Structure 1
Amino acid sequence: MRPLVTAAALAVGLALPAHALDLDNLSEAERATLHDEIRAYLLENPEVIMEAVAVLEERQSQGQAQADVALVRDNAEAIFDDGHSWVGGNPEGDVTLVEFMDYRCGYCRRAAAEVKGLLEEDGDIRFVVKEFPILGEDSLRASRFAIATLQVAGDDAYKAVHDALMNYSGSMNEAGFTRLADSLGLDANAILAEMDSDSVSDVIAANHALARRLEISGTPSFVIGDQMVRGFVPQNAMAQVVAEIRATE
C-alpha cells in the first residue's frame, strides 16, 4: 500500500504548481478544499498516478543500482577472486560474470543454457560460479559434491560435474553421486571422502556470508562487472549489461 500512497503524493507533485504544495500557511478550510481538489483531479485523470508510479519505480531502480555498485566495490576481492570458486569462460576476459546458484533451483537450470549461450557468443567473458545452496539438504549435498570434486579433481572435473548436476534428476545421496562420478570417469570414493571436510564447509560458509553482504537472498543472482542482477535473465539481457559495462570503461 505504501508505494501507491507515495506514488499518489508524487502524482500530486507532478500535477500541481509548486506554490500549491506549500501547506505551511493554509488554514484548515483551505487545506480541506485543496484535498478535495486533488482527489477530484486524480479521479478525472487517473493516468497521472500511473505516470507517477513509473517515475517512482525509476528513481528506486536508480537508487538500488547505485547501492549495488557500492556493494560490489566494497566486496570486489571476495566476488571476483576469492581463491576457491571455479573460473570458466575466458579467464582473461575483460568483463567478469559471477553467478550465485543452487542445483535444485529451476530458474538456475534455465539460466544455465542462457549463460552457456552468452559465453559461446562472447569469447571475452570471465565466468565465476558461486555455490550457494539455499533450497534444503539436497541442495547442500549437491554443492558439497561439486566443491569436493573441484578440490579433489580440479577444474575440468568440476565443470563436468557442475553441468551434470544442472540436469540431474537422481537422488542426492552417496549412491547417486557414485553413479554420477563413475559416469564421468571420476574417483567417486575420493570425492565422497572430501564432501564433509572443513575445506568444503568453509567455501559454503564464505559464499553465504558474501551473499548476505551483497543482500542476495535468492538464486540465480548475478554480478556482471560492477552491476548486480537479481533473478533469472535471458542471454540477450545479460549481453546488453555486458555491452553497457564495456561502453563505460
Structure 2
Amino acid sequence: MTQLTLRPLRPLALIAALALGGAAQAEEIDFGNMTPEQEAAFGLKVREYLLNNPQVIMEAVAVLEQRENQQQAAADDALLADNAEAIFNDGFSWVGGNPEGDVTIVEFMDYRCGYCRKAFPEVKELLESDGNIRFIVKEFPILGEASTLSAQFAIATLIVAGPEAYEQVHDALVSLEGGPSEAVLTRLANTLGLDAEAIMAEMQSDEVQRRIAETRALAQRMQINGTPSFVMAGEMVRGYVPLDGMRQIVSQARTEN
C-alpha cells in the first residue's frame, strides 16, 4: 500500500478551490498574509463545505497523489537515462532468460529478502512462459552478513564456474533454509558438482568486493533502498509485483514500441 504524506497547503488549496467555487478564486487567496480574522473565517468556510461534501477530501488526495506519482515517474526516467549503461550493460552482472529478448528486466535482489523469495517463482514463470525477455540480476545484499555471504558466494561461482553454475546457485540460495555458513555453502557447491574450494577462496577477492560495491553505488544513485526493486521494460518498479502485473508491464512496453 502506498503511504502518502500530505503537505498541508497543497490539499488545502485544492479544497479551497472547491469550497470557494473554483481554482481561480483559490489562486487569489494569499495564504501567507491572511489576517487572524480572515484565517478564522476561511477555516469556518472550509469546515462547513467539508462537512457537507466529505468526498472532496478523497478527491483532493487523489489529485495530489496523481501529481506526486507523475513527478516520481519523471524523476525515475531521468535516473534510468543517466545510469543506463550501468543498469543494462555493466559487464559483470548475470544475464539470463533470452539474452536477445526484446524486453529487459533487471532485478536488484537480496537472497534473504522475503519478498525477493516470493517474487522468484513468478519471475521464473514469466521468463519461461514468455521466452523473449532478457533478465539481469543485480546482487544487492542489504540485510546483513548472511545476505553478503550469499551474494559473495553467487558472484564467486559466476567468476569461477560460469553463468550456468551461477544460475543453479542463485536458484538454490533463494530457497535456502537456515543461514549460509561456510559449511552450508561448501556442501551446496559439492552437491552441484562445483569446485567448492575455488569458489570459497574467491569469495573474498577484490573482484567480488568490487562488483558488490559498484552495484551498491548504482542503487544509491537510483535511490533504491529496498528489495526487490526492478527495472521492467524501461520503467522503475520499486517493490514486489505479482506475475499478472509484470505481464501487463511487459505487454504495454511492447505495444508502445
Matched position secondary structure for 1:178? helix
- The equivalent residue for 1:38 is 46
How many angstroms does 1:29 deviate by? 4.5
- The equivalent residue for 2:23 is 18
Pair 1:120-2:125 in alignment: no
Cα distance in 2 between the residues matched to 1:171 and 1:192: 16
Cα distance in 2 between the residues matched to 1:144 and 1:104: 13
Residues 19, 160 of structure 1: CA spacing in aligned structure 2 closer, same or farther, 3 A cutoff? closer
Could you tell me whether the CA contact under 8 Å between 2:110 and 2:139 is conserved in 1?
yes
Could you tell me whether the CA contact under 8 Å between 2:95 and 2:137 is conserved in 1?
yes
Cα distance in 1 between the residues matched to 2:211 and 2:200: 16
Pair 1:223-2:231 in alignment: yes
Residues 45, 189 of structure 1: CA spacing in aligned structure 2 closer, same or farther, 3 A cutoff? same
Identical columns (%): 59
Residues 12, 189 of structure 1: CA spacing in aligned structure 2 closer, same or farther, 3 A cutoff? same
- The equivalent residue for 1:109 is 117
How many angstroms does 1:55 deviate by? 1.2
Pair 1:236-2:251 in alignment: no
Cα distance in 2 between the residues matched to 1:150 and 1:65: 34
Indicate which of 2, 6, 27 corresponds to 1:3: 6
Matched position secondary structure for 1:186? coil
Cα distance in 1 between the residues matched to 2:242 and 2:235: 16
Q: Deviations over 1:108-165 (max 9, x none)?
A: 0001011011111211110000000000000000000000000000000000000000
Matched position secondary structure for 1:72? helix
Residues 150, 39 of structure 1: CA spacing in aligned structure 2 closer, same or farther, 3 A cutoff? same
How many angstroms does 1:13 deviate by? 2.4
- The equivalent residue for 2:141 is 133
Indicate which of 42, 67, 78 corresponds to 2:86: 78
Structure 1 spans left out of the alignment, 5+ residues: none
How many residues align? The count is 249
- The equivalent residue for 1:100 is 108
Residues 27, 209 of structure 1: CA spacing in aligned structure 2 closer, same or farther, 3 A cutoff? closer
How many angstroms does 1:43 deviate by? 2.0
Cα distance in 2 between the residues matched to 1:220 and 1:72: 17
Cα distance in 1 between the residues matched to 2:138 and 2:167: 13
Runs of 4+ in 1 over 3 A off after TM superposition: 24-32
Which amino acid in the other structure matches residue 186 of structure 1? Answer: L
User: Structure 1 stretch 222-231 or stretch 129-138: which is displaced more?
Assistant: 222-231
Cα distance in 2 between the residues matched to 1:185 and 1:213: 38
Residues 152, 19 of structure 1: CA spacing in aligned structure 2 closer, same or farther, 3 A cutoff? closer
Matched position secondary structure for 2:6? helix
How many angstroms does 1:8 deviate by? 3.5
Which amino acid in the other structure matches residue 83 of structure 2? Answer: N
Cα distance in 2 between the residues matched to 1:26 and 1:182: 75
